[in-house]
């Protein structure tokens, strides 16, 4: 059933006339053309579709549009401040923490969510916080280093 759903998306207020049961991933990719959020498994197992909802990392492939009504949604496209990359994005670049890049937006959004919850994570906290984001190219070691680098960088800026 079509209804009006309002939420904030990458800092802007948006309003859509859609069925509330639609999947957030596909609304982002098709309705808003925000294609940085990727389909990987469709069942919440891989993390390629991760976005932030009110600052927490959420799998958009198992989240309905209705669930984000009135909330603040951030996708990979909304993370940088103009041309200035978010510290986590910058740390991925600086640590060469990607290969094919397909899991990368989800990895970055998950890491931002992790650092929002815990700005001072241990090595183990990062491993277990990233555990359910899958990478097939095997960039894991560098991703962990990137999250550690970003965490230090964000603490220093505060």
Partner 1 sequence: MDEFNDYKDYLKSHSSFPGIRRRDFLRLMGGGIYIFFRVGSAMEIMAAEGDQNRLPNDLNAFLQIHEDGTVTCFTGKIEMGQGVVTGLAQMLADELDVAFEKVKMVMGDTDLCPWDMGTFGSLSTRAFGPYLRAAAAEARMVLLILASEVIGVPLEGLDVNEGVVFNRKDNKQKVTYPQLTEGKKIERFLSEKPEVKDYSEFRIMGQPRFRVDSVEKVTGKAKYSGDIRLPGMVYARILRPPSHASKLVSVDTSEAEKVEGVQIVKDDDLVAALHEDPEMADKARRLFKAEFAGDEKPISNENVFAYLNENAPEGNVNINEGDLETGKKSSENIFENEFHDGYVAHSPMEPHTAMAFLEDGKMTVWAGTQTPFPAKSNIARVLGFEEEKVRVKPPYLGGGFGGKSAHQQAVEAARLAKITGKPVMVDWNRQEEFFYDEFRPAAIVKINSGVDDNGKIVFWDYHVYYAGDRGGETMYNVPHQKRTVYGRGWRAPGIHPFPTGAWRGPGNSTNTFAREVQIDIMAAKAGIDPVEFRLKNLTDQRAIDVLTEVAKMADWKPAQSPSKRGYGVAIGADAGTYVAHIAKVDVDTRTGEVKVLKVWCAQEMGFCVNPQGATIQMEGCINMGLGYALKEVVEFDGGQVRTSNFDTYEIPRFSWIPEIDTKILDRNAPPQGGGEPAIVCMGAVINNAIYDLTGARLFEMAMTPHRILGALKNV
- Smaller CB separation from partner 1, 3 or 96: 96
62 binds partner 1 (CB under 8 A): no
- Smaller CB separation from partner 1, 8 or 45: 45
C-alpha span between 158 and 125 (Å, rounded)? 21
Q: Is 26 helix (H, G, I), strand (E, B) or coil?
A: helix
Backbone angles phi, psi at 68, to 5 degrees: -100, 5
**Which one of residues 20, 45, 71, 72 is an interface residue with partner 1 (CB under 8 A)?**
45
Token code pair at residue 55: 């600052």
The region of 1-9, 21-29, 114-122, 149-157 touching partner 1 under the rule CB under 8 A is 21-29
C-alpha span between 88 and 116 (Å, rounded)? 12
The region of 66-74, 114-122, 124-132, 148-156 touching partner 1 under the rule CB under 8 A is 124-132
């Amino acid at each position: 059933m079509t209804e009006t759903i309002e939420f904030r998306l990458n800092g802007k207020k948006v309003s859509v006339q859609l069925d509330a049961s639609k999947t957030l991933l596909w609304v982002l990719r098709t309705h808003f053309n925000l294609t940085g959020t990727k389909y990987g498994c469709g069942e919440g197992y891989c993390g390629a579709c991760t976005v932030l909802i009110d600052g927490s990392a959420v799998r958009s492939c198992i989240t309905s549009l209705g669930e984000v009504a009135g909330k603040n949604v951030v996708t990979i496209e909304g993370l940088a401040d103009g041309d200035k990359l978010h510290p986590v994005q910058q740390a991925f670049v600086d640590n060469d923490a990607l290969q094919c890049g397909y899991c990368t937006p989800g990895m970055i959004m998950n890491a931002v969510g992790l650092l929002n919850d815990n700005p001072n994570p241990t090595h183990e906290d990062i491993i277990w916080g990233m555990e359910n984001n899958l990478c097939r190219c095997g960039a894991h070691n560098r991703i962990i280093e990137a999250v550690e680098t970003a965490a230090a960088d964000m603490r220093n800026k505060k």
